[in-house]
Amino acid sequence: ASTVELFDGYRFEIAGSLQFPTSAVVSAELGLDTLPTIDLEVMSVSLRGVGDAPVVYYSDPMKMLAHLGEVHGADAVAGMAGLMAWSLAPTRALGRFDAGRGPRTLDEMYACAATESERAAIDDLLFGSVSDVLDRYLPDRDKHGALRGMLAFLAVNTTYRGPE
């Protein structure tokens, strides 16, 4: 995260306002764990277009689920629950919060799977697309466009691959 001058006289903030979870070991080594923080009720808001309901990302998970249900429907809540369950094995396979070790091999990634459905989720991560997974859990591209867009953005930032 930094502020850079992209054009003469024009400075832009790059990624400072968007802090993804970092390994506790890395945070401690950088001294980030000693910095003051501000707990906000709303972490972010995703908009898709004129007339679409925004997705408000509340810090409180229960408030977030209530918002999803009230504004985006029970299918959005069910879809997010399914997506969160799906993501457990890929998260372990990526080892995103492991510090001090190189990337895992494919064999090490697959070894993280305890069940066949977890193995399939890791396979989705490695060889599928973000859009395929979103289509499975949030198939209504119009109704859940803002939610799908934010999730695709987060997935691209995590995997450094495009949504398709």
Structural tokens at position 148 = 């799908």
* Count of Cβ atoms closer than 10 Å to residue 47 Cβ: 13
Q: Hey, where are the domains in the chain? A: 39-159
**Closest CA relative to residue 101, chosen from 25, 31, 34:** 25
Q: Note the pLDDT tens digit of each residue in 3-61.
A: 777 778 877 766 555 555 677 787 888 888 888 878 889 988 888 776 778 889 898 98
Structural tokens at position 74 = 């029970």
* CA dihedral sign, ordered 161, 148, 4, 34: negative
Q: Note the pLDDT tens digit of each residue in 81-110.
A: 999 999 999 989 988 777 788 889 999 999
Helices (H), 58-144: 61-67, 74-94, 106-111, 116-127, 130-137
pTM beyond 0.85: the answer is no
In sequence order, what are the beta bridge partners of 44?
57
Structural tokens at position 94 = 């990526």
